Amino acid sequence: MTPRLFDDLYAVTMTLLPPQMDGREGRNMVYAIGRQESRLVHRRQIGGPARGLFQFERGGGTRGVLNHSGTATPIRHVLTALNYTDDLDECFAALEHNDILAIAFARLLLWTVPGPLPKQGEHQRAWEYYVEGWRPGKPHRQTWDAFYDEAWG
């Protein structure tokens, strides 16, 4: 996915979420995480169960966003707008094919991480923020800084 296409999809997604979730820091974290998780190319985890550009697992991030007190209402609004139900299996399957839904889930998962979003140049803090939200099984720290810089570029 090109950065331009990502920006267009992100802008559409933000029309479905509360205004306070928009902003450059959120956009850039979502972009960097997409690059880190799937290179914004793979919608199905290679050799694993995760789905979507942000590699959500059924019982992890997908269930978490659906059930978290700060994200349950906004994700239901997005699901209704996109003609989905809040059924866990339906959401998990849809994440693989609907990039707007995947971006919404990613932005909402970031909403559950305590503290303000990292700023430009805060590579280590951004990495820790990502790890706190995504809890990657095999984190690759060596690729993060370049993806984070790309997001801000």
The 10s digit of each residue's pLDDT in 52-87 is 999 999 999 999 999 999 999 999 999 999 999 999
The 10s digit of each residue's pLDDT in 14-42 is 999 999 999 999 999 999 999 999 999 99
The 10s digit of each residue's pLDDT in 91-116 is 999 999 999 999 999 999 999 999 99
Give the 3-state DSSP-derived string for the chain, with helices as H, strands as E and coil as C.
CCHHHHHHHHHHHHCCCCHHHCCHHHHHHHHHHHHHHHCCCCCECCCCCCECCCCECHHHHHHHHHHCCCCHHHHHHHHHHCCCCCCHHHHHHHHCCCHHHHHHHHHHHHHCCCCCCCCCCCHHHHHHHHHHHHCCCCCCHHHHHHHHHHHHC
Taking the domains of the chain in order of start, what are their residue ranges?
Answer: 3-152
Q: Is the pLDDT of residue 137 over 90?
A: no
